[in-house]
Amino acid sequence: MNEEKFALSILVANESGVLTRVSGLFGRRGYNIDSLSVGETEDPALSRITVVSRGDKPTQDQIIKQLQKLVDVKSVTLLDWNNTVFRELMLVKVNAEMATRAQIHQIAEVFRAKVVDLSTSAMTLEITGENPKLDAFVSNLVPYGILELCRTGMTALSRHANTNKTYESEEELKWQ
């Protein structure tokens, strides 16, 4: 089985219960969600759900078909890793005694992170980027002692108009 990571952008009705139905579909079928983010779009009636999962091509097609059957799903887009901007937000609280603050600030500058909170013994940093950047940032902060960490999950938009294949009906999958 040739499992690969894939990302879907799902436009849904912005109504209560929709996220439960979408995520429940993954759970009922035994598909793991590696990353999930959801938010309102430029149209307040719609939300965009970005899901990162793993599976071979038939599994990807099956997930798309199942999502299209949900009443609140307006469209499903299989994102092209090369033609999509992916970002994730991370907040990390790290031990920051007076003796180590300058070093932590230097690490933050290298990764273009921002200090968003500071106390006498801790510093909270905000960073956005792709997974490798965030992972590298964390590995550089581990020696100082990470107190808490929170990641939003991947979110994405196509780089150009019509670069990602959008499936609005199950029929479209048959013509690939």
pLDDT per residue over 67-92, tens digit each?
A: 999 999 999 999 998 989 999 999 99
CATH 3.30.70.1150 domain range(s) in the chain: 86-155
pLDDT at 3: 83
Give the DSSP letter string of 51-93. EEEEE-HHHHHHHHHHHHTSTTEEEEEE--TTSEEEEEEEEEE
pTM of the model: 0.81
CATH 3.30.70.260 domain range(s) in the chain: 4-83+159-174
Which percentage of the chain shows pLDDT scores above 90? 82
| 86-155: CATH class | alpha beta
Superfamily of structural domain 4-83+159-174 = ACT domain (3.30.70.260)
114's tokens = 């921002």
Terminal CA-CA length for the chain: 20
Provide the pLDDT confidence category of residue 160 given band limits of 50, 70 and 90: confident
Q: Crossing angle, helix 18-28 and helix 57-68, to 10 degrees? A: 140
